[in-house]
Chain A
Amino acid sequence: MYQFNYVRPKSLDEAVALLSKADDPKLLAGGQTLIPTLKQRLAMPSDVIDIGNLKELAFIKAEGNAITIGAGTKHYDVATSPDVNRHIPALAHLAANIGDPAVRHMGTIGGSIANNDPAADYPAACIALDAKIHTTKRLIEADKYFKGMFETALDAGEIIKEVTFPHPDKAAYVKFPNPASRYAMVGVFVSKGPWGIRVAVTGAGQNGVFRIKAMEDALTKNWSPDAVAAVKLPADGLLSDLHGSAEYRAHLITVMAKRAVAAAG
């Protein structure tokens, strides 16, 4: 690791102030991506601003027809939340299968979507559930938030405060995890709700999470695993690496989508 200044603000306001003052700062939430990145010297921030202990960012609120999750909430707390399990079990299931138990005790939802790793799980949930991302500056619709691999709509100096997930009528997330890292080789989140029907895919796209309109249309006509089974995807624009070719991932998307629709019931 390169040297850096470590600071631990006592409030979100203080974190924003520190962020604007520092030369080349990085926010540290759970650190399950950032610390390994720093260890490999793939990043050289001047300041590491640790917001991982901010109580004001760690909460789960069930209000009306939505659940709002503070950006600093750990995956373990989402996975075991009675409210999340009751209203959006697909989201609890997703959180329960990120990384391993020790990673889930540290990693946060805000860290995951701020980083926007193309193989992260949460981006698929945000897109499929029409989530609203609240930051220190504004509200961003999930559809307008994810801008490509490791790219988001966040400005420098903007911090995610919370994410609101409306209750779906039906939803499920199924992933094919890489056996070593547990990152999604392909993960498909399907949902049916006030927003219509959505199919969001993570792990496979060169530009990160994306929706499949052909599957959404097929499910609108006929909500069944067979409807998505008939939709084959081209390999164009999909990731190809030592874990799997673009063609393999294209095939996996249809298989995972089928399983997700079956799981959603």
Chain B
Amino acid sequence: MATDTGSRFDGNELRIGLGLDDPRRLLRGAAGVVGFLVVWHLVSLTQPAYVLPSPAAVGDAFAEELASGTMTTALWSSVRHWIPGTIVGTGLGVAAGVAFSWNGLLDDVTAPLVRTLRPVPPLALIGFAIAWFGINDAGAAFIIAVGAFWINYYAAYEAVEGVSEDLLDVGRTLGVRGDLDMVRSIVLPASLPGILTGIRTGLGRCWMLVVASEIFGVPGVGREILRASNNLLVDTVIAYILVLSLMYLLVDVAFRAVQRRVLVWRA
């Protein structure tokens, strides 16, 4: 085929990420953004601002919120929910996933509980968040942690399940000393790619949960979105959505860099 149409039909690999290293991709991405903004602007001309504000109005709202200090205060508040919620949820999720997947007894004991609790959406636990922690940072962090827990639990569980029995046999013939040694020296490194993919998915999901976790009155970006929605300030809503997107992008790029370093040994 003479021109690269980008179709998978041409044999292009599926590409994920920003592709900052490929100028052609960067250009195409920029064209996509500009095109989107143009269409948005044109459509916004036909609509009142409370249905669809123009991109320029969103820019103004962003600048205004930033200048007044509301945005930075809200963001700092959300970060204080996001960081502990993500760390606790990820840590417990990975630990439980690895432990229950590796140990058949633990797996049997916990399987019915896991299947009962798994479908409960984090938002449904707001009552518990308020009762156990109150309307504060800890309550919001709890909601985020629940979301992070399940993603990481399943990712770790499946990653450990997928560890080759042959590698375990090699370990056994080389004198592995007990379960702890086996898990630390073989199971964890072998399942690390899957665990890291789970963590990365969880990091993104936790930014989404920031909005939900602030629904019951804890200040933050989510709270600002809800408040602006109630006042039909759609331009402000979009400005704060952009804040969440930028935070997600920042964290994701940083995590991918870490992931590549940690997994240098992978083909």
A joins B in a complex: no
